[in-house]
Amino acid sequence: MHCPFCNSPDTQVIETRLSDEGDSVRRRRRCSACDKRFTTYERVELNLPVVVKKNGARADFDRRKLRASLALALRKRPISAELLDAAITRIEHRLIALGTREVASELIGEIVMRELRRVDKVAYVRFASVYRSFEDVDAFAGVIEELRPEGSGEHPSSG
Same domain, 53 and 6: no
Task: Give the residue with greater pLDDT, 157 vs 120.
Answer: 120
The pTM assigned to this predicted structure is 0.62
**Same domain, yes or no: 93 and 131:** yes
- Are 65 and 34 members of one domain? no
- Residues 84 and 114 grouped into a single domain: yes
Does residue 157 sit within a domain?
no
**125 inside domain:** yes
Please check whether residues 39 and 116 belong to one and the same domain. Answer: no
Q: Could you tell me if 11 and 82 lie in one domain?
A: no
Confirm whether 152 is domain-assigned.
no
When divided into structural domains, the chain yields a total of 2
Q: What are the tens digits of pLDDT across the range 12-66?
A: 999 999 977 777 899 999 999 999 999 998 887 768 999 999 999 999 999 999 9
The predicted-structure confidence for 121-150, as pLDDT tens digits, reads as follows 999 888 888 877 777 777 767 777 887 775
Long-range contacts (CB closer than 8 Å, 24 or more residues apart) made by 97-104:
98/49, 100/49, 101/49, 101/50, 102/49, 102/50, 102/51, 102/52, 102/58, 103/49, 103/50, 103/51, 103/52, 104/51, 104/52
Q: Structural domain of residue 56, as residue ranges? A: 45-147
H or E segment and range at residue 37: strand 37-43
Res 158: pLDDT: 39
Q: Are strands 50-52 and 58-59 parallel, antiparallel or unpaired?
A: antiparallel
